[in-house]
Amino acid sequence: MYIEPDDTRWWWDYSFVDTISWGFPLFGSEPANNFQTPITSWIYFRATQNLTIKKLRIWAAIHVFPVPYKLYRIGIIRLERRVLGYDCQIRISFDGNVVCETTIGMKDYDTRAQWPEREWLTIDMDTPFTIQTGVDHVLEFKTLNVGEGCFRIFSVPCFDGIYKLKTTCDSAVPGMSGPEYRDFPANYDWPARACIILASGSGQVTSDEEYKQYCKDDLQKSQEAIEIWTGAQWFKKTTGYTYKEDPWLETIVIAGTYSNGQLADTKIKFVADETFTAHTFKIKYCGRIGDYYPVIVDVHVGTSPDGPWVKVARWRPNWYDWHWQEWELDVPYIFEAGQTYWIRFETKNASPYGVGLLTIYCDQQCIPHLGFEFEVEPWSPLRNCLKCLIWSEDKKKWVPGGCTGNEVLFWHDFDTADVRWYIEQPPEEGWRVVNEEGSDVWPKSIYGYKLWIVSWEGPLGGYCWTWGDDTEWWYEYETPYGGPGKPFLEFYGYNEGVGVSPPVTIAYPFGAYYTGGSGDYFVWHHAEDIHPALKEVLQELGIIGGFTIWATRPHTVSELVEFERRHTAYTIPRLMVYGDTGRKQALNSIEAYTGALFPDATHGGVKWQVSLEPDPFGNATVRRCYRIFDYVCFDAWFWRKNGVIEPGDINDGGIYLGLVEGSRSGEFQPGETVVEADTGATAEVVWATNNQYNEILKLTNLQGTWEGGKQITGQTSGATAIEDPEGPIQYADDKTYLQSRGVKCFLIINNYNPEIDDIDPDIFEYVVTHPDEYVDKVVQICLENGWDGIIATLEQQDSHVRDAATNFYRQLSRALHENGKLIGAALPAITGTDYDAEWWLGWCDLGKLVMYLDIAKIMSYTESGDWSDPAPHAPEWFWRAVYDYTKKVVHRRYWRRIFVGANTSCDVWTHGLLGSDYVGIHEAMVHCFFRGGTIKIEESEGHWIAGGKESWMGIPQTIMRAVNEAINSGFGGIGIWMADHGDIYESHPEWPQLGRREIMDFVEIRFPEDISRGSVGGPRYKTDIVQTTSGYEKRNIRWQEGLCRYDVSYGIRTQEQLDTLIAFFRARKGRAIGFRFKDWTDYRAVAQQIGIGDGTTTNFQLVKHYKSGDIIETRTIKKPVEGTVKIYLDGVEQTSGWSCDYTTGIISFDTPPASGVIITADFEFDVPVRFDTDELPITIEALQIGSIKSIPLVEIRV
């Protein structure tokens, strides 16, 4: 059905569907209502030959399944097994006659069982049927039962009006409906061909030789593309657009459907400055108008706006607003030097929702805008084409009114005027659209009505004018609609460059294996291998191995989520299992990459502090995890001798310029202007470091275009230096971001000295013995720069400065506290044994220093590094000794000021060499798995030895050890070093449990409904009863609002349900973590009054009222079910203007309801509960069958 008669590709060739295809729902259940309704679908086609059909071959696409997935255990391998789909009963009819009734079951993929996906499914007909050449036929697929899944097939766009598809399915996302969640709405005619083969059964199996030739041809093309494309010198050719950040950047429609039903057909002018071959094109979206729909666009090239046209691509826009999209041309096109071309974007299909338009940017500037002052800049294309006329009431006609726009107009004797601009000889046309809707098209003329006349005399005589309050504008357009601007369109070509060796490994998708393989590469139990014919081809082409892609990873035991790992030099968003490693190493790498190897750290209710080094590239993850932190400390400024505090680059939104070491002559001065050689770009110096090892300028007021790598010169000081190649870089303003969200931000000042590339003990001594030179400056820095406090860190000195150091912190603490600021410090970890190094920590009188600090972070992670042999950063014996000593010397009243130190960084040592590489967790893991190593958890850290290297890694257990120490010892919190090695967070699920208070307390996950349906329970109260001697009772009601209690053991009827319960119990850690529970006896509320409007209040809490006689109890509802809430004002349903927080039950109105308006709600709700036991005693009754006598749940207040 999907192959044109002249197409010679094999029917399984993925090129049919890999660029533009749609997933068509063929059978299964409706996702929109969470799979509660069976669907029916129809395929309309015209036969091209006479044939009796005995089989259907269906090309399965990606199906729709519920989220979260069901999980099962397999053997002893610690991976979750997915079961996706159900035994779906379908009835197939041809032209109204039933030809087949069958059940579509699931296929065993070893790691999961599910419906076949991205491969072929064959269905044998019970009754063969006959198709006839030229006759239109229809196939109907009717689903007879419901279940969790919607089976989709590939379909390819077709606009001949003969082939079409239709389905009752309305969504591709469980529980969702609407344009964003589907391709086309229910019962709409899809303009597409179904990827289905009608087979007579007389075909033949492809021979191994044919298959090998097909694979060889395909792989050779792939290898050739890799060699050419990656080795090529790529270049781009543009329309000549100019990007300026000003309000006059315009837009034009590139694709879609106008509100009158007309299809977009846009043409863009392109002039080739030299002959080249284009392989891809690229456009930059602006915004959209109307709703998304799966629009298809044919791209053509012509030499005039009227053609003739050569089709070069069929393009599927991705609707990614404000971003670039690149698309490969189906046919590379040769543009000739000096030739003018027109690029046509022809929309092929209409929107099913009315208007749906995509716009792209255009540099068209200075078209007048309604209601704005109209000025014409000297560079504007309008400068020489506007003619101004003014209406004369005296002469009853239009008369010349002045020049072109900026200059003085000459007026007659009246106070107001109508002004009209004619656009004569408009600038050269750059694009055309078929409808003015959505595009900033060029007007023929512009009218301004009722302009006020200013009474003072202008510089050229006459009077000047200005706009009046009631000024009106009219624009007049004419076809063809267009303008002189240059759209953001680029073409990319390449020149042959350096040769690139083809890869020697290959990635296999799921479904690429079969059970008859030799198993040379894979040694897992029951693992499938590749086909011998394919292996022979790979070996012939020099491909020696491969890896597969594991698309999901465990989040909790009861659900899976997609990868969300960021792109860095060491990680890519897929899991690589190296083919030459053993089973143990392969499984270990899966567990480590997915985070399953490292149990998640939880918050513990203590304070969290983290340090953040300067990060101009945005790789630090502190923004993503800001909710975790109470304090973020920015590293760093620096103590210097003689009362100097030298600034450094930090993530404060500043613009920083690094200088090439040793290139500077003279000293740059704050406030002076610096000029970049060749470009003439300028900037003003905020401050400059004046040492030859760490030379940085902080700049402001940048002018011109800075290129970097050039000499700069100070215009006042005469100082010169060579810039770093990247030039000035603006760092992210994490400080403002965090403070606006309630996180306190500290500036770190330390005694690092770049001249020795280490901590400087001499600076330490000078600072603490001259406090008067520094204290006031520190306070001034804190106040002027808006810091919440200072981390005053001094490291490495012996006991001869002990008293001076204590006095320094005493004075600084007093000064900062007097000005409402906080103080902290990073203090050495002291064991109180002979292990302690006097030269390092002799200065630290811990018991006294903590008295003056708000944050006293103990650096209990410094016992190994680039100065040591491989060793843990904090051995267990050391850890215990440090915090036992801390509690011994620090008075209990100050324990809340102690912050337990933990590291997220890693060190990788090379055996036989001194020193280590200081890296993040992803890099450390790559080192391990590349060498076939296995990560173990030892000393609360990750540890591995492989291939001559060894590493100790900060992992979640490292942090959890600190959290537990703080909780058990009564300390105030933990201090993490540091956030820019925070890719440790990225090895966790999208909702990391690392530090999340809300995840520590409660998760928005519902207890399995098929178990809760059979549970028993209900509300309970707490009442104290005292019986008097006379028999009367006194009753004291302790709870005004009841709490429910349930026993869910009665809902367990199958081993599958028992397995699910065990997994759910483990994920909730017994009584530790709360969750949602559906009480089948009480989960609905109708017409519940939640408030009365007063004209000012916008937030109202959902409640349910229980009435008995004259008594009404009101129950607060904190966990409404998403999608079930309806809101009414005086009985009228409100379909917009409000929102619901489904985690709190709070309804928020955009506009406060008027005074006296009754606000009611309909909704369903869950009960927030937790397990009321930390153990799950299971009675084994038979093989794989077990039971539990009691599993109590109790409602919790959240």
The pLDDT value given to residue 373: 41
* Last residue in a domain, options 542, 568, 594: 594
pLDDT in tens, 210-267: 888 988 898 888 888 877 777 788 899 999 988 765 556 788 999 999 999 999 999 9
Nearest-angstrom CA–CA distance, 997 and 985: 15
> What Å distances lie between residue 888 and 828, 891, 1120, CA to CA?
16, 8, 50
Q: And the tokens for 818? A: 């007097």
DSSP track, 235-280: EEEE-------STT-EEEEEEEE-TTSPBPEEEEEEE-SS-EEEEE
How many C-beta atoms lie closer than 10 Å to residue 509's C-beta? Answer: 12
**Rounded (10°) CA dihedral 240, 243, 248, 249:** 80
Same domain for 624 and 544? no
Query: Can you say how many angstroms the Cα of residue 1022 is from the centroid of all Cα atoms in its chain?
Result: 46
Pairing of strands 276-290, 356-362: antiparallel
641 Cβ contact partners less than 8 Å away, ≥ 6 residues apart: 762, 763, 766, 767
Nearest-angstrom CA–CA distance, 140 and 44: 9
How many C-beta atoms lie closer than 10 Å to residue 194's C-beta? Answer: 26
Q: Is residue 1 part of a domain?
A: no
| DSSP 3-state of 1160 | strand
Same domain for 588 and 737? no
The pLDDT value given to residue 73: 28
> What Å distances lie between residue 67 and 64, 179, 665, CA to CA?
9, 20, 63
Same domain for 650 and 662? no
**Residue 539 phi, psi dihedral angles, 5° rounding:** -65, -35
Largest Cα separation within the chain, whole Å, is: 112
The pLDDT value given to residue 572: 31
The residues with which 748 forms a beta bridge, in sequence order, are 635, 791
Nearest-angstrom CA–CA distance, 467 and 416: 10
The residues with which 265 forms a beta bridge, in sequence order, are 346
Q: Is residue 1146 part of a domain?
A: yes
Same domain for 436 and 523? no
218 Cβ contact partners less than 8 Å away, ≥ 6 residues apart: none
Q: Is residue 226 part of a domain?
A: no
Alpha helices in 124-237, H assignment, sequence order:
208-231
Q: Which residue stretches of the chain have pLDDT < 50?
A: 68-81, 368-380, 383, 402-416, 450, 452-468, 510-528, 548-579, 619, 982-1000, 1182-1186
The residues with which 280 forms a beta bridge, in sequence order, are 328, 492
Q: Is residue 221 part of a domain?
A: no
The pLDDT value given to residue 401: 54
Nearest-angstrom CA–CA distance, 823 and 821: 7
Contact (Cβ atoms closer than 8 angstroms) between residue 759 and residue 632: no
* Crossing angle between the packed helical segments 921-930 and 583-594, to the nearest 10 degrees: 170
Strand ranges, E, within 811-877? 822-828, 855-859
Say what the pTM is.
0.49
Domain total of the chain = 8
* Last residue in a domain, options 450, 484, 518: 484
Nearest-angstrom CA–CA distance, 515 and 530: 8
Report which of 314, 300, 308 is spatially closest to residue 156, judged by C-alpha positions.
314
Q: Any idea what DSSP says for residue 181? A: G
Q: Is residue 693 part of a domain?
A: yes
Interior angle at CA 1049, CA 1046 and CA 1053, nearest 5? 135
844 Cβ contact partners less than 8 Å away, ≥ 6 residues apart: 802, 805, 827, 828, 830
Q: Is residue 170 part of a domain?
A: yes
DSSP track, 8-63: -S-TT-GGGTSSS-EEEEEEEB-GGGTS-SB-EEEEEEE-SS-EEEEEEEEEB---
Query: Can you say how many angstroms the Cα of residue 972 is from the centroid of all Cα atoms in its chain?
Result: 33
The residues with which 58 forms a beta bridge, in sequence order, are 121, 196
> What Å distances lie between residue 104 and 27, 56, 147, 262, 731, CA to CA?
10, 13, 12, 42, 56
Same domain for 474 and 584? no
Kind and range of the H or E run holding 996: none
Same domain for 561 and 666? no
772 Cβ contact partners less than 8 Å away, ≥ 6 residues apart: none
11 Cβ contact partners less than 8 Å away, ≥ 6 residues apart: 3, 197
Same domain for 820 and 919? yes
Nearest-angstrom CA–CA distance, 243 and 1109: 72
Contact (Cβ atoms closer than 8 angstroms) between residue 28 and residue 89: no
DSSP track, 1032-1067: -EEEEE--SS-EEEEE-GGG--SHHHHHHHHHHHHH
Contact (Cβ atoms closer than 8 angstroms) between residue 928 and residue 935: yes
Report which of 729, 724, 700, 733 is spatially closest to residue 634, judged by C-alpha positions.
733
What residue type is 116 in one-letter code?
A: P
Nearest-angstrom CA–CA distance, 133 and 1151: 63
Side by side, which strands form the sheet with 1146-1149? 1099-1101, 1146-1149, 1138-1141
The pLDDT value given to residue 1051: 80
**Residue 455 phi, psi dihedral angles, 5° rounding:** -85, -10
Kind and range of the H or E run holding 886: helix 876-889
Same domain for 185 and 60? yes
CATH of the domain at 343: 2.60.120
> What Å distances lie between residue 1100 and 56, 578, 854, CA to CA?
56, 55, 39
> What Å distances lie between residue 1013 and 333, 1007, 1010, 1045, CA to CA?
64, 10, 6, 14
Same domain for 519 and 618? no
Report which of 510, 563, 526, 596 is spatially closest to residue 80, judged by C-alpha positions.
596
Nearest-angstrom CA–CA distance, 239 and 341: 10
Contact (Cβ atoms closer than 8 angstroms) between residue 1148 and residue 1054: no
Same domain for 958 and 1036? no
Q: And the tokens for 826? A: 């990073």
Interior angle at CA 871, CA 869 and CA 872, nearest 5? 155
Same domain for 689 and 631? no
Q: Is residue 213 part of a domain?
A: no
The pLDDT value given to residue 1029: 60
- Domain membership of residue 298 as a residue range: 235-364
Report which of 630, 616, 629 is spatially closest to residue 727, judged by C-alpha positions.
616
pLDDT in tens, 135-160: 999 999 999 999 999 999 999 999 98
Strand ranges, E, within 409-462? 416-423, 431-433, 445-457
Nearest-angstrom CA–CA distance, 916 and 909: 4
Same domain for 1024 and 899? no
Q: Is residue 1121 part of a domain?
A: yes
Report which of 164, 154, 149 is spatially closest to residue 113, judged by C-alpha positions.
149
